[in-house]
Amino acid sequence: MTPQNDKALLRRLLAQNVEFVVIGGVCGILHGAELVTFDLDICCRFSRENLRRIETAVKDLNPHHRLTANKLPLELTDELCDRLKNIYLTTDLGILDCLGEVSGLGDYEQVLRRSITQQMSYGKLQILSLDALIVAKEAAGREKDLYATRLLRAIKPQN
Amino acid sequence: MIDEATLAQMNGQYVMPPDASPAWRAACEYGFDMSLVEESLKRTPEERLDAHQRVLDMLFELKEMGGHDAAK
């Protein structure tokens, strides 16, 4: 089990000017949901330039494609960048899942439009709005997502 | 003299806020500890992420300890 350090991963992504929106459980936590999650999910622009920024952000963290049978190292080429739709990574700072699309919302541009800016001490994060996160969780439809949705609906103001 | 209601709260009974939304009530009835959610909502987003990090660190330590114990 690799320790998960979301803050350190986020700082690295910000430092490299990666275009991304925080989604998933960490987004729910930022909104105030009492959840525990073991990965950092982001939706990002799948341009060559942006994927290279991600690679730079984690290059000294032993990044591997965590879902490949042989845990292939992250070694991007232009050709691979053009073919990838998602990148599921394990790193020395934990799991970083980079998605090109989010269920119920669409691609990065659509996700970005439904995000809000969250000021942190180490920079500005784009995170899914609470409404959009609920839509995404419901669209994902897994038991754990529906479980989280109950809590997210509760913390939504003026239900 | 402590009344029964206060005693129940001392013993862990959650008091639903009078303005609780239907979704809040539903989450409570589903089993979420809404007192923890109330505490979380008092924190800043950064404090929430830090609190979550402490939970992850603790779980990792427990996992590591379990692994060492299993190796003995």
Question: What number of other Cβ atoms are within 10 A of residue A46's Cβ?
Answer: 22
pLDDT bucket at A159, cuts 50 / 70 / 90: very low
Domain hosting residue A76, numbered range: 6-152
Q: Which residue of A has its CA nearest to B35?
A: A34
Query: A110 exposed, middle or buried (CB, 10 Å; 0-12, 13-18, 19+)?
Result: middle
pLDDT value at residue A66: 92
pLDDT value at residue B69: 60
CA–CA gap between residue B42 and residue B65 (Å, rounded): 33
Helix (H, G, I), strand (E, B) or coil at A64: strand
Write down the residue that tokens 């599921």 correspond to: A88
What's the CA angle centered on A68, arms A67 and A70, to 5 degrees? 130
Q: Would you say residue A75 lies in a domain?
A: yes
Q: Determine the straight-line distance between the first and last CA of chain B, rounded to whole angstroms.
A: 53
The mean per-residue pLDDT over the stretch B17-28 comes to 93
Q: Would you say residue A102 lies in a domain?
A: yes
Q: Would you say residue A80 lies in a domain?
A: yes
CB contacts, 8 Å: B17 with chain A: none
Question: What number of other Cβ atoms are within 10 A of residue B36's Cβ?
Answer: 11
pLDDT value at residue B42: 92
Q: Would you say residue A89 lies in a domain?
A: yes
Helix (H, G, I), strand (E, B) or coil at A88: strand
In the predicted structure, residue A40 carries a pLDDT above the cut 60:
yes
- pTM here is 0.89
**Residue range A96-111, pLDDT digits in tens:** 999 999 999 999 999 9
The mean per-residue pLDDT over the stretch B39-45 comes to 93
**Which candidate in B49, B55, B63 is best for mutational testing of the A interface (most A CBs within 10 A)?**
B49
Q: Would you say residue A136 lies in a domain?
A: yes
Greater confidence (A142 vs B69) lies with: A142
Q: Domain count for chain A, please give it.
A: 1
**Residue range B4-21, pLDDT digits in tens:** 888 887 887 888 999 999
pLDDT value at residue B2: 83
CA–CA gap between residue A98 and residue A51 (Å, rounded): 9
Chain B nearest-CA distance from A30, in A, is 5
> Chain A contact for B70, CB < 8 A?
no
Q: Would you say residue A46 lies in a domain?
A: yes
Beta bridge partners of A40: A96
In the predicted structure, residue B70 carries a pLDDT above the cut 70:
no
Q: Would you say residue A83 lies in a domain?
A: yes
**Residue range A53-97, pLDDT digits in tens:** 999 999 999 999 999 988 899 999 999 999 999 999 999 999 999
CATH number of A48's domain? 3.30.460
- Residue spans of the domains in chain B: they are 20-71
pLDDT value at residue A117: 97
The mean per-residue pLDDT over the stretch A126-150 comes to 94
